[in-house]
Amino acid sequence: MRRSPVRWVAPVLLATAIPLATATPAAAEPEQTPVQRYVALGDSYAAGPLVPIPTGEPAGCLRSNQNYPSVVAQELGAGDFRDASCSGATTENVIGPQSVPLGKNPPQLDALARDTQLVTISIGGNDIGFGDIITECATRSPLQPTGSACKDHYTAGGTDQLAQQIDEAAPKVARVLAAIEERSPDARVLLVGYPVILPDEGPGCFPVVPFSPGDVDYLRGVEKALNAMLADRAAAAGVGFVDTYTPSIGHDVCQLPGTKWVEGLVPTAPAAPVHPNALGMKEIGGMVVDALADEPSRAAA
Among 24-38, 149-163, 226-240, 285-299, name the one with the lowest average pLDDT: 24-38
Buried b / exposed e over 63-81, threshold 16 CB at 10 Å, is bbbbbbbbbbbebbebeeb
Q: Which fold has domain 37-128+170-196+225-292?
A: Rossmann fold (3.40.50)
pLDDT score, position 3: 42
How confident is residue 18, by pLDDT bands cut at 50, 70 and 90?
very low
CA distance 290 to 284: 10
How confident is residue 296, by pLDDT bands cut at 50, 70 and 90?
low
pLDDT score, position 293: 87
Q: Please identify which of the residues 99, 122, 275, 297 carries the catalytic annotation.
A: 275
Contacts of 117 (CB under 8 A, 6+ apart): 33, 35, 36, 37, 38, 186, 187, 188, 297
For residues 293 and 15, the model is more confident at: 293
pLDDT score, position 5: 35
15-22 average pLDDT score: 34
pTM over 0.85: yes
Q: What is the pLDDT of residues 80-108, one digit of tens each?
A: 999 999 999 999 999 999 999 999 999 99
Q: Is 153 a catalytic residue?
A: no
- 20 pLDDT higher than 50: no
Q: Please identify which of the residues 44, 85, 184, 212 carries the catalytic annotation.
A: 44
Mean predicted lDDT score pLDDT of the chain: 90
pLDDT score, position 33: 57
Exposed / middle / buried, residue 84 (Cβ in 10 Å: 0-12, 13-18, 19+): buried
pLDDT score, position 294: 75
> Are 187 and 117 a contacting pair, CB within 8 Å?
yes
Q: What is the pLDDT of residues 110-166, one digit of tens each?
A: 999 999 999 999 999 999 999 999 999 999 999 999 999 999 999 999 999 999 999
Ranges assigned E (strand) in the chain: 37-42, 80-83, 98-100, 103-105, 118-122, 188-192, 240-242
- 297 pLDDT higher than 70: no
SS3 state of residue 42: strand
37-64 average pLDDT score: 98
